Amino acid sequence: MVKVYIDGQEGTTGLKILDRFNGRTDIELIRIDSDKRKDAAERKRLINESDFTFLCLPDAAAIEAVSLAENPNVRIIDASTAHRTNPAWHYGLPELSPKQREGIATSKRVAVPGCFPSGFVSLMAPLINDGILQPHYPVFTYALTGYSGGGNQRIAQYEDERRARELESPMIYGLAQNHKHIPEMLAFSGLAYRPMFTPVIADFYSGMTVVVPIQARLLHKKASIKEFWEVLRAHYQNSPFISVKNFIPNEEQTNVLLPSNYLRGTNKMDIYVFGSNEQILLCACLDNLGKGASGAAVQCLNIMMGIDETTGLL
């Protein structure tokens, strides 16, 4: 049995990790008293007492928490943005490659991917690695997400009975092209240049669709929509959580409706390839609190423990 401490257990991601530990007998949870959750000395004691510590904190607090870890045997899984592009940390997306999975398994420092990058990198990396999409391709991407990704304050804002009417409408943000996830999206996708990214927050609790349109005329070499689908299908054929859905011919796509919240509560991601040989539309659907946060964190823990990575996950 391993000892696990969650630093930030009262936040959205921390609570969802706790939910995924229900019924597990291979974990001993170390809990901090509510009145001491900001006490650095108590946090330090619990971090160093644990075998694994999850960081479900703002970036500055996550960096501070790492500095508190003096026990060389403590393995840290950080769900914040703080360490995702730090070369000393392993990026927690095991589906990228067997080497990525092996690195996570042996690492003492793992950074859990962000919700948007989880979908984006899962779409882009296999295509660029295969060569069907060139690193210099000018990528534009947008994503629709539920409001829970904004944390407790955003959830309270959306669920307030006196909320502003504007919250009833989807809202575009990150308009300055400076979203904090862009460096991560660039670092692990294989792209040579920053993608243009437009996130949209909408009035539903959790779920996400990340979309990347591809103009075939801009490709370095000619490739059909079916070839794009085949590359993604082959890459994820043995993945327990990422599925590339059946190819739908262009003439049958007209009446397809793709919701963003149907995978809520799971650690799954579904990938779709729509469009035609001229215009290809890549879509990744996931739960921003699942494969985009807490589910991915628990998946990394399972791999680091050397057990079935699906343990405790749907």
Active site residue ranges: 115
Dig out the tokens for 134 from the structure.
């060139």
How far apart (Å, rounded) are the C-alpha atoms in residues 248 and 304? 37
**What is the Cα–Cα distance from 202 to 237, expressed in whole angstroms?**
32
Tell me phi and psi for residue 197, to 5 degrees.
Answer: -130, 125
Q: How many residues does the chain have?
A: 314
Is there a contact between 208 and 264 (Cβ–Cβ < 8 Å)?
no
- Phi then psi dihedrals of residue 312, to 5 deg: 75, 10
| Locus of tokens 């437009």 | 198
Among all chains, which residue has been given the structure tokens 């079916």?
Answer: 226
Strand-pair category, 52-55 with 2-7 = parallel
In the chain, the amino acid numbered 231 is V
Provide CB contacts within 8 A for 176, sequence distance 6+.
Answer: none
∠ CA 232-237-241, rounded to 5°: 95
* CA–CA distance, 74 with 70 (Å, rounded to integer): 8
The strand pair at 269-275 and 279-286 is best described as antiparallel
- Contact 150/179 with Cβ under 8 angstroms? no
Q: Read off φ and ψ for residue 21, nearest 5 degrees.
A: -90, -5
* Residue 135 phi, psi (nearest 5): -60, -25
Q: What tokens does 228 get?
A: 């794009």
